[in-house]
Chains A and B, each alone.
Chain A
Amino acid sequence: MKSEIRNLKSEIAVPDIQWVDVPVVDAEVAAPSGKPCEACATPVEPLDRFCPACGTVNPDFPAKIPLARPESEDRSVPDRSTAPRGAGKPHDRGPPEPSDSPLTKHLECKTCGAEVATDPNQRSYVCPFCDSTYVVEVPAGQSGRQRPEFVIGFAVTPEQAQEKFRAWLAENTWYRPGDLAAASIADKMKGIYLPFWSFSMLAQSQWQAQIGEHWYRTEHYTTCDAKGNVQHHTRRVQETEWWPLSGRHHRYYSGYLVSGSRGLPQDQSLRIQPFNLPALKRYEPYFLAGWLAEEYSVGRDEALKLCHEEFHRQEQRNIAAFLPGDTHSGLAVETDFSHEGSDLCLLPIYILSYRYQDKVYRFLINGQTGRFAGDKPISGTRIGIAVGVALGLIALIVVVVWILSSMR
Chain B
Amino acid sequence: MSDLLTKCTVCLALLDEEDLFCANCGTEAPCQGTEQDRQATYLATHNFECEGCGASMSYDASAQALRCPFCGSERLNEQANQKMLRPHWVVPFAIEESDALARLRQWLGSTYWRPGDLARTAEVTKLTKVYVPYWVFAGRVFTYWTADTSEKPFGASGDWAPLSGQNQSNYSGLLVGASSVLTPVETSAICPYELSAGVSPDKVDLENVVYEQFRVQRKYARPLAHEGLMDLERNACRQYVPGNCRNLRVNVRVEGLTGEPVLLPVWIMAYRYRDQVHRFLVNGQTGQCTGTAPTSYAKIAGVIGLVIAVIIATIVCMGLMGLMVGR
Give A residues with C-beta under 8 Å from B.
Answer: 23-25, 27-45, 48-55, 57, 76, 78, 80, 83-86, 88-91, 149-150, 167, 200, 202, 211, 213-215, 217, 239, 241, 243, 245-252, 254, 276, 278-282, 321-325, 339, 341, 397, 400-401, 404-405, 407-408
Contact = CB atoms under 8 A, between A and B. Distances in A.
Counting chain A CB atoms within 10 Å of each CB, which of B13, B23, B179, B320 scores highest?
Answer: B23
Contacts of A324: 146-148, 162-164, 246-249
A51 B315 contact: no
B9 interface: yes
Contacts of B84: 36, 41
Given A25-B220, A45-B217, A52-B23, A401 B319 contact: yes
B269 to A, nearest CB: 18
B161 interface: yes
B56 A33 contact: yes
A33 B215 contact: yes
A286 B86 CA distance: 35
Smallest CB-CB A-B distances: 5 pairs: A215-B158, A33-B180, A33-B215, A401-B319, A55-B21
Interface stretch (B24-32, B100-108, B123-131, B192-200): B24-32
Contacts of A35: 215
B144 A90 contact: no
B323 A407 contact: yes
A37 B28 CA distance: 17
A252 B3 contact: yes
B315 A55 contact: no
A128 B275 CA distance: 30
A38 B184 CA distance: 27
Contacts of B16: 52, 278
A398 B322 CA distance: 14
8 contacts: A25-B223, A30-B181, A36-B215, A51-B23, A90-B26, A149-B12, A250-B253, A278-B14
B11 interface: yes
A41 B158 CA distance: 61
Nearest to A241: B158
Given A30-B216, A322-B146, 9 more contacts: A27-B188, A48-B23, A50-B21, A78-B11, A80-B12, A150-B14, A213-B158, A245-B164, A323-B249
A52 B12 contact: no
A361 to B, nearest CB: 24
Contacts of A321: 249
B257 to A, nearest CB: 13
B216 A31 contact: yes
Nearest to B86: A41
B10 A29 contact: no
B241 to A, nearest CB: 10
A40 B38 contact: yes
Contacts of B11: 76, 78, 83, 282
B316 interface: yes
- Counting chain B residues whose Cβ lies within 8 A of the other chain, the interface size class is 35 or more
Contact of B26 (A32, A57, A254): A57
Interface string B217-228: 101111110000
Interface in B259-283: 275
A78 B8 CA distance: 12
B186 to A, nearest CB: 9
A54 B36 CA distance: 11
A87 to B, nearest CB: 9
A181 to B, nearest CB: 23
Nearest to A202: B4
Interface in B279-327: 312, 315-316, 319-320, 322-323, 326-327
Contact of A23 (B14, B223, B327): B223
Contacts of A38: 83
B144 A281 contact: no
B5 interface: yes
A42 B39 contact: yes
Nearest to B54: A33
A404 B320 contact: yes
Contacts of A248: 144, 166
A76 B10 CA distance: 11
Contacts of B157: 215, 217, 239, 241
B177 to A, nearest CB: 9
A35 B217 CA distance: 10
A397 B310 CA distance: 13
B156 interface: yes
B9 A54 contact: no
B223 A43 contact: no
Contact of B156 (A28, A34, A39, A241): A241
A25 B228 CA distance: 14
A208 to B, nearest CB: 11
Contacts of B188: 27
A104 B313 CA distance: 70
Nearest to B38: A40
A75 to B, nearest CB: 10
B213 interface: yes
Contacts of A43: 85, 214-217
B117 interface: no
Nearest to A277: B223
Given A28-B183, A324-B162, A247 B27 contact: no
Contact of B23 (A27, A36, A50): A50
B164 A215 contact: no
A194 B82 CA distance: 37
Given A28-B185, A408-B326, A91 B25 contact: yes
Nearest to A82: B12
